[in-house]
């Protein structure tokens, strides 16, 4: 007799897939069709164990290719599961058609909702496939068919799908999500090899499970692929190896490469369990691991270059230039590879894909002719973007005499810019401009010249060059270059504190980008303008702009996401707000900045994270992040001046005197950003106070600088650190009002109170909805159910909601009734809440409870209990009370049943986790004993843990009684 497979150790629960299975209409067939290793059986077993329906499970073998044998086997399984099953036929030797009709009638009249599961359907014959179709056609909605097998199963999958009669999940549906891969391996989003796991395994569950078992990443999965390849015929392996250059296999591609494949090759491939995803229309996508294994075999045949050259020419014919580029590199065709590389490198840089460009440069250097000057300069540029200065130094030493063209001057100016060597940057930019560069390089050289002049303090010349750059781009009629030039000009005005001119320049650039739909540059502009607003103390404007960028998520946003998060954290640190959130967000953002090549920003925000820890009193963590910043600064040749500033701050936090430190005198003010520059002025005042040399003139200079800045943001931000200085100035009446106003902010600003109207939904026991303590009368029971569904599951599409609330029946009358329910519910909530907004909006094609309402759902108490440890028997009593309370007892839908089961399981897990802990409290052990006997659903392991704890605490008699009682309960459960 077949049984539902047992749970595997460390099995991953496929929650999103289980949800899809539960939401299929009752008449639909569910078919999981994929090669082995995709967890088809595991998923169906999880589904079977989680449902309250009866499950008839049959694992097929070769004998089931006979229709009569299959019919008899299904009848035997059905009789084991349904003791009341009534059959008409007196003999199981009747023809298969009669047996199928008899079984269908028996299942239809059983009064039970039943799932019939057939695993390994690839073993069916054409005859059993036809029998199964006729059998299914006789079933009513209460009996649903679930199948699992290879795509080669002899079933009309396409026909079922086209009629809407089947939910078919293939390899793309069954692959692990990123969250599931992390759960399976125990890794985190920061694990170093995560990108390799995603690239190599492509979510293939069998491969990910191998890695989770402790086998080496890549090696183990490749061995699995090689092992399965060995099972194929030699002629098929040889033919597939010639397809290694293609990322999709189709009849057209196979013919174009003149590959002859043996008859029935795709069936052999799918049954082998190799990682291949069917795409439909006769197309298949081999996973990276399979292509690598095939390419390795091809490499040893002597036809490697020929095959990749042929594939490259074919890719060019069908306009797949990036695929052609890969093939030409592997075939060592230097001229074609370089021609395509030039075309695609600039596009990749524009979209921010610098990792791809650097990797391409590495591979181009392996072509005949070695590292050409063109590739060398491009490689240097990319390495500089990633802050890998030491590698650039090594390359320049290896190639000291390459020709000095305009690209050389531009690259070297950029090199010194990244090293903070502004005089050398200015020299190369000036020399390059004198060499009559092309228009493209002139734009870059003018940019570097302007930046260098500003860094060296020559602000009038800086603005003059920036204006020349703008005019030059206008004359070229190049709007993209013109927009970039306005950003440079805005930066000049920012340095000179000319707010109006600065903002106008930024807005002009924004206008040009929007007009010409250059969305890839909008993120840079938003970030720079938001940063400028922070310098001006207009924090709300900055937060609004960050929110705008985050909401729009324009092209290339993924490269800027961490910068926007870090800048928002910067604002909160200045305001001394939400420091826990700041520490969490920066801890994730800083490594991401390093990975994206934002080395300078990573150093600055590491310092900010150190400061946040310092504000919280986490001195050790603050020191660690300061050390991290110090190491990064030295490794990447970043200016060390901000570090010196933070060293002084650490001394002040640790109550050490800064009277004798020389760090403040050693700081180059040109290397500090606006905020740090004003912080430096305040720290120098504190040093003078400690020395006893503080005078009014010094204070006046700092206050004048704040007046030029236009706000007291730095003064307010340092109020906690420099209280003694501020008190001294107040006592001496030196701008006492300014310092007193800053000190008055010392009371920590609390997180804003959630002022949203509260919608309270109680589902434990009778379902009730309350607003301001008053019960809301909902005119229809389906309105209550809809509100609970949205509170539990969040925004949802109409079809999914109807599937849940009407048990998968999407008849016209149910759709019309759903519209009535929505109108009635919306009207009742609006009347009770008395709010001007729609409490039940339809947004992004989804129904949802408005975000302007605060929803309080009593079921969330279970989550709270999971997160907060049980401390007393009163807590345990609360848990058991929750467990006994039925959720919305008048609702009968399957989605509610699933919710009840999930929450019951969660409660049992929470109770079990704390049994052993509470057993160590001797004064309440008898009470605990009584509680445990009242808790249904505990596993034998939970009883065993309590027995051990009772014996350990000297309660042997209670342990014996518990053992006897638990055995009796378990026997009763088994007999029932």
Q: What average pLDDT does range 866-875 have in this prediction?
A: 52
Q: What average pLDDT does range 816-830 have in this prediction?
A: 86
Write down the pLDDT at residue 255: 86
In a domain, 346, yes or no: no
Write down the pLDDT at residue 974: 39
Write down the pLDDT at residue 62: 82
- Say whether 582 sits in a helix, a strand or coil: helix
Alpha-carbon distance of 410 to 405, in angstroms, equals: 9
Domain-terminating residue out of 803, 837, 857? 857
On whether both 33 and 116 belong to a single domain, the answer is yes
Q: What average pLDDT does range 742-747 have in this prediction?
A: 69
Q: Is the pLDDT of residue 146 over 90?
A: yes
Which tens digit of pLDDT belongs to each residue from 278-298?
A: 777 788 888 877 888 888 888
Write down the pLDDT at residue 137: 87
On whether both 584 and 695 belong to a single domain, the answer is yes
On whether both 727 and 786 belong to a single domain, the answer is no
On whether both 618 and 729 belong to a single domain, the answer is yes
In a domain, 465, yes or no: no
Q: Is the pLDDT of residue 738 over 50?
A: yes
> Which range is most confident: 217-226, 285-294, 361-370, 525-534?
525-534
Residue 796 sits in a domain of what CATH number? 1.10.10.10
On whether both 54 and 115 belong to a single domain, the answer is yes
Q: What average pLDDT does range 337-353 have in this prediction?
A: 79
Between 865 and 897, the more confident residue is: 897
On whether both 842 and 954 belong to a single domain, the answer is no
In a domain, 809, yes or no: yes
Between 974 and 572, the more confident residue is: 572
Q: Is the pLDDT of residue 351 over 70?
A: no
Q: Which two tokens stand for residue 384?
A: 């500089």
Q: Is the pLDDT of residue 909 over 60?
A: yes
In a domain, 409, yes or no: no
Domain-terminating residue out of 150, 174, 198? 174
- Say whether 13 sits in a helix, a strand or coil: coil
* Contact call for residues 221 and 275 (beta carbons, < 8 A): no
Write down the pLDDT at residue 881: 60
Q: What average pLDDT does range 705-727 have in this prediction?
A: 83
Per the prediction, the chain carries an average pLDDT of 80
On whether both 631 and 775 belong to a single domain, the answer is no
Range of the domain at 116: 15-174
Contacts of 230 (CB under 8 A, 6+ apart): none
Write down the pLDDT at residue 874: 56
Q: Which two tokens stand for residue 801?
A: 């909601």
Write down the pLDDT at residue 343: 83
Alpha-carbon distance of 120 to 31, in angstroms, equals: 11
In a domain, 229, yes or no: yes
Determine whether 381 is exposed, middle or buried from the number of CB atoms within 10 Å of its CB (0-12, 13-18, 19+).
buried
Q: What average pLDDT does range 547-564 have in this prediction?
A: 84
- Best CA proximity match to 454, nearest among 410, 487, 403, 492: 492
In a domain, 523, yes or no: no
Residue 676 sits in a domain of what CATH number? 1.25.40.10
β-pairing, 854-857 vs 143-149, is: unpaired
* Contact call for residues 757 and 835 (beta carbons, < 8 A): yes
Q: What average pLDDT does range 875-888 have in this prediction?
A: 62
- pLDDT-derived band at 118, boundaries 50, 70, 90: very high
* Contact call for residues 854 and 758 (beta carbons, < 8 A): yes
On whether both 720 and 599 belong to a single domain, the answer is yes
On whether both 35 and 132 belong to a single domain, the answer is yes
Per the structure, the count of domains in the chain is 5
Write down the pLDDT at residue 441: 82
In a domain, 556, yes or no: yes
- Best CA proximity match to 77, nearest among 101, 54, 96: 54
- Best CA proximity match to 733, nearest among 700, 685, 691: 700
Domain-terminating residue out of 857, 888, 904? 857
Q: What average pLDDT does range 421-434 have in this prediction?
A: 90
On whether both 706 and 730 belong to a single domain, the answer is yes
User: 93-102, 166-175, 391-400, 757-766 — which is least confidently predicted?
Assistant: 391-400
Q: What average pLDDT does range 935-954 have in this prediction?
A: 64
Q: How many residues does the chain have?
A: 976
In a domain, 382, yes or no: no
* Contact call for residues 778 and 765 (beta carbons, < 8 A): no
On whether both 885 and 960 belong to a single domain, the answer is yes
User: 173-182, 272-281, 408-417, 946-955 — which is least confidently predicted?
Assistant: 946-955
On whether both 86 and 161 belong to a single domain, the answer is yes
Helices (H), 230-303: 234-241, 251-256, 265-271, 288-299
């Amino acid at each position: 007799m077949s049984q539902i497979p047992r749970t595997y150790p460390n099995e991953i629960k496929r929650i999103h897939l289980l949800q899809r299975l539960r939401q299929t209409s009752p008449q639909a067939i569910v078919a999981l069709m994929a090669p082995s290793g995709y967890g088809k059986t595991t998923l169906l077993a999880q589904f079977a164990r989680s449902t309250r329906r009866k499950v008839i499970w049959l694992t097929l073998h070769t004998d089931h290719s006979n229709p009569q044998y299959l019919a008899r086997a299904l009848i035997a399984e059905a009789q084991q599961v349904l003791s009341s099953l009534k059959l008409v036929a007196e003999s199981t030797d009747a023809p298969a058609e009669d047996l199928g009709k008899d079984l269908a009638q028996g299942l239809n009249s059983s009064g039970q909702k039943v799932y019939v599961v057939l695993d390994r359907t690839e073993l069916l014959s054409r005859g059993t496939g036809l029998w199964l179709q006729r059998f299914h056609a006789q079933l009513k909605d209460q009996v649903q068919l679930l199948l699992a097998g290879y795509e080669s199963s002899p079933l009309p999958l396409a026909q079922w799908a086209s009629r809407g009669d089947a939910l078919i999940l293939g390899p793309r549906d069954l692959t692990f999500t990123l969250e599931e891969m992390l759960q399976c391996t125990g890794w985190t989003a920061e694990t170093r090899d995560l990108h390799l796991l995603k690239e190599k395994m492509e979510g293939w569950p069998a491969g990910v499970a191998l890695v989770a078992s402790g086998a080496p990443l890549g090696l183990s999965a490749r061995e699995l692929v090689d092992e399965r390849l060995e099972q194929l015929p030699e002629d098929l392996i040889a033919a597939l190896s010639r397809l290694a250059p293609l990322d999709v296999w189709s009849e057209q591609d196979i013919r174009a490469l003149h590959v002859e494949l043996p008859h029935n090759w795709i069936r052999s491939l799918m049954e082998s369990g190799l990682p291949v995803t069917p795409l439909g229309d006769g197309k298949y996508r081999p996973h990276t691991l399979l292509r690598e294994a095939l390419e390795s075999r091809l490499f040893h045949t002597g036809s490697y270059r020929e095959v990749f050259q042929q594939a490259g020419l074919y890719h060019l014919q069908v306009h797949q230039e990036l695929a052609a580029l890969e093939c030409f590199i592997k075939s060592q065709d230097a001229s074609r590879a370089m021609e395509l590389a030039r075309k695609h490198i600039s596009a990749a840089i524009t979209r921010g894909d610098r990792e791809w460009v650097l990797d391409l440069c590495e591979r181009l250097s392996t072509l005949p002719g070695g590292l050409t000057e063109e590739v060398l300069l491009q490689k240097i540029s990319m390495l500089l973007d990633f802050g890998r200065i030491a590698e650039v130094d090594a390359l320049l030493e290896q190639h000291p005499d390459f020709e000095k063209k305009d690209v050389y001057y531009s690259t070297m100016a950029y090199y010194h810019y990244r090293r903070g060597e502004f005089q050398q940057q200015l020299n190369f930019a000036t020399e390059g401009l004198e060499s009559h560069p092309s228009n493209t390089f002139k734009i870059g050289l003018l940019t570097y010249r302007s930046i260098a002049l500003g860094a060296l303090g020559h602000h009038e010349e800086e603005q003059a060059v920036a204006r020349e750059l703008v005019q030059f781009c206008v004359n070229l009629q190049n709007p993209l270059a013109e927009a970039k030039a306005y950003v440079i000009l805005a930066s000049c005005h920012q340095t000179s504190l000319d707010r109006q001119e600065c903002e106008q320049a930024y807005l002009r650039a924004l206008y040009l980008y929007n007009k010409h739909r250059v969305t890839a540059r909008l993120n840079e502009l938003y970030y720079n303008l938001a940063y400028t607003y922070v310098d001006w103390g207009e924090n709300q404007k900055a937060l609004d702009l960050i929110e705008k960028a985050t909401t729009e998520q324009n092209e290339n946003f993924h490269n800027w996401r961490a910068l926007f998060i870090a800048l928002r954290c910067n604002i909160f640190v200045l305001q001394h707000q939400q420091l826990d959130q700041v520490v969490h967000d920066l801890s994730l953002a800083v490594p991401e900045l390093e990975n994206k090549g934002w080395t300078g920003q990573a150093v600055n925000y590491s310092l900010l994270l150190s400061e946040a820890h310092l504000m919280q009193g986490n001195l050790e963590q603050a020191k660690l992040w300061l050390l991290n910043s110090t190491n990064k600064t030295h490794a990447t040749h970043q200016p060390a001046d901000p570090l010196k500033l933070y060293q002084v701050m650490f001394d002040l936090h640790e109550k050490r005197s800064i009277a004798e430190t020389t760090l403040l005198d050693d700081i180059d003010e040109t290397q500090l950003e606006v905020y740090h520059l004003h912080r430096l002025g305040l720290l120098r005042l504190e040093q003078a106070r400690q020395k006893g040399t503080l005078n009014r003139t010094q204070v006046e200079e700092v206050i004048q600088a704040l007046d030029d800045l236009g706000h007291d943001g730095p003064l307010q931000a340092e109020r906690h650190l420099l209280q003694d200085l501020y008190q001294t100035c107040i006592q001496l009446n030196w701008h006492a009002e300014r310092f007193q106003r800053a000190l008055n902010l010392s009371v920590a600003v609390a997180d804003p109170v959630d002022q949203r109207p509260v919608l309270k939904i109680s589902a434990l026991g009778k379902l009730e909805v309350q607003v301001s303590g008053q019960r809301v009368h909902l005119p229809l029971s389906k309105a209550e159910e809809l509100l609970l569904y949205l509170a539990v599951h969040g925004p949802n599409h109409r079809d999914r909601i109807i599937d849940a609330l009407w048990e998968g029946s999407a008849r016209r009358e149910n759709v019309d009734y759903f519209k009535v329910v929505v109108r009635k519910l919306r009207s009742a909530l609006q009347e009770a809440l008395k709010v001007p907004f729609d409490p039940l909006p339809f947004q992004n094609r989804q129904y949802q409870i408005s975000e302007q309402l605060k929803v309080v759902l009593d079921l969330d108490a279970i989550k709270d209990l999971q997160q907060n440890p049980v401390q007393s028997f009163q807590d345990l009593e609360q848990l058991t009370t929750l467990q006994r309370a039925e959720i919305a007892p008048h609702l009968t839908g399957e989605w509610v049943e699933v919710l009840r089961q999930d929450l019951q399981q969660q409660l049992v897990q929470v109770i079990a986790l704390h049994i052993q802990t509470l057993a160590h409290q001797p004064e309440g052990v008898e009470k605990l004993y009584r509680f445990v006997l009242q808790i249904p659903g505990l596993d034998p392991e939970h009883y065993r843990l309590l027995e051990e704890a009772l014996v350990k605490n000297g309660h042997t008699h209670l342990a014996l009684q518990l053992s006897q009682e638990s055995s009796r309960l378990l026997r009763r459960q088994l007999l029932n």
